[in-house]
Amino acid sequence: MSRTTPVSDTHSKLGSLIEKWTRTSNQFGNDTGIPGLRLSRWEAPTPPTSYTHNASICLIAQGKKQVLLGGDSFIYDANHFLISSVNLPITANIMEASKEKPYLGLILELDLQEISQLIVDSDYSGTQNKEAQKGIAVGTLSQPLLDAFVRLLSLMDEPESIKVLAPVIKREIFYRLLMSEQGSRLNQIVTDGSHSHQISKAIEWLKNNFVKPLSVGELAASSGMSKSAFYTHFRSMTSMTPLQFQKKLRLGEARRLMLTENLDAMETTFKVGYESPSQFSREYSRLFGSPPSKDIKALREANMV
């Protein structure tokens, strides 16, 4: 038996579990009953879609996906995982999917408090680097990590066990991540005083206050950095300037409001912090490729709600 066979078999198990629980849905975000875990299934490639991606790990059992962060592209498949250590506004699209071989994926939100405790409990001695790293990366999927995800999804067949066993398996998953090539990225984000930790707090503030006018100087000061250092580390982590980051958050929320809450473009303009409808429409078109009304109509016709 070849050494790759177990991984292939486990991929099949993971794919079967995701397929089973997404059979009646062609959407993202299926409720699993397991906190922080969502499944997705697509039967055709999707157009680029912008949204805020939470700190999480993403796996694919079948298919291929591309994630764009600023000017950087990250492509992953069944042999790799995507990890995001902070909440980031991204653009993503499914690259490979069909009715015969649908895209089957999952996303598990990271519990940074649990990861911080694991660093203490495991006497973690990985690379210590104060410089901010990119907030998104692609890693190689290991057999132990894949096994843990199969066991986590298998709990959906015994919901009475989720409350007790899911936290244990998720802790193992976070441990496997910490011990992987991406461990230093997680260590940085939870280590007080590191640039990644300081930038992550600034990102959280922006996420919760993107409607407000942005003062980069004040944000830098609250992060304990000079304005120039803040710009450098913020861009290293997000591939964007703070202003570009805020703009993506505003426009992503605008799209959500119009798509899911049926707000019109005028009302949305002011709700997300813009003062000029023409500026809002111009920047929306630049990001999404069409004016608000045309874009929302196309999304509804494509059943992207």
What pLDDT, in 10s, does the model give residues 118-165? Answer: 998 988 776 666 667 889 999 999 999 999 999 999 999 999 999 999
User: Mean per-residue pLDDT for 20-31?
Assistant: 72
Q: How confident is the model at residue 99 (pLDDT cuts 50, 70, 90)?
A: very high
Reduce the DSSP state of residue 96 to 3 states and report it.
strand
Residue 8 has pLDDT above 50, yes or no: yes
Query: What pLDDT does 122 receive?
Result: 86
Average pLDDT across the chain, whole number = 90
Query: What pLDDT does 188 receive?
Result: 87
Cα 172–Cα 180–Cα 166 angle in degrees, nearest 5: 15
More confident residue, 304 or 217: 217
CA-to-CA distance for 39 and 232, rounded, in angstroms? 35
Asked whether 7 and 143 are in contact (CB, 8 A), the reply is yes
CA-to-CA distance for 246 and 92, rounded, in angstroms? 18
- Give all domains of the chain, ordered by start, each with its CATH number: 5-189 (2.60.120.10), 244-301 (1.10.10.60)
Query: What pLDDT does 271 receive?
Result: 96
User: Mean per-residue pLDDT for 177-181?
Assistant: 91
End-to-end C-alpha distance for the chain, whole angstroms: 45
Residue 303 has pLDDT above 70, yes or no: no
How far, CA to CA in Å, does 99 sit from each of 10, 62, 102, 107, 201? 22, 12, 5, 21, 42
CA-to-CA distance for 193 and 218, rounded, in angstroms? 18
Q: How confident is the model at residue 25 (pLDDT cuts 50, 70, 90)?
A: low
Q: How confident is the model at residue 28 (pLDDT cuts 50, 70, 90)?
A: low
CA-to-CA distance for 34 and 17, rounded, in angstroms? 14
Query: What pLDDT does 3 receive?
Result: 46
User: Mean per-residue pLDDT for 265-273?
Assistant: 96
Residue 4 has pLDDT above 70, yes or no: no
* Percent of the chain scoring above 70 in pLDDT: 93
